[in-house]
Amino acid sequence: MSQTATASQPVQQAIQVGRKDLPLSCPPPDAPVWNLHPRVYLPIEDDPNGEAVCPYCGARYVLMD
């Protein structure tokens, strides 16, 4: 009988942002150079749950106020 290993991606901790951080873009200005990707603006304020996920790196953002 064969066993199949299931690979799961680790759940990434949400990055908390406030209204002072809007418009929200990823990567954040303080990101290290080695971790940069093209800047993308995330419409977090339009989401009913106040959440957004970066399509490049998968960073999760949550609007706190």
CB 52 within 8 A of CB 5: no
- Non-local (6+) Cβ contacts of 18 within 8 A are 63, 64, 65
User: What confidence score (pLDDT) does residue 65 get?
Assistant: 83
Tens-place pLDDT, residues 7-26: 555 566 999 999 999 999 99
Tens-place pLDDT, residues 25-46: 999 888 888 879 999 999 999 9
Mean pLDDT over all residues of the chain?
87
The mean pLDDT of 47-54, rounded to a whole number, is 97
User: What confidence score (pLDDT) does residue 4 get?
Assistant: 55
Q: Which amino acid is at 31?
A: A
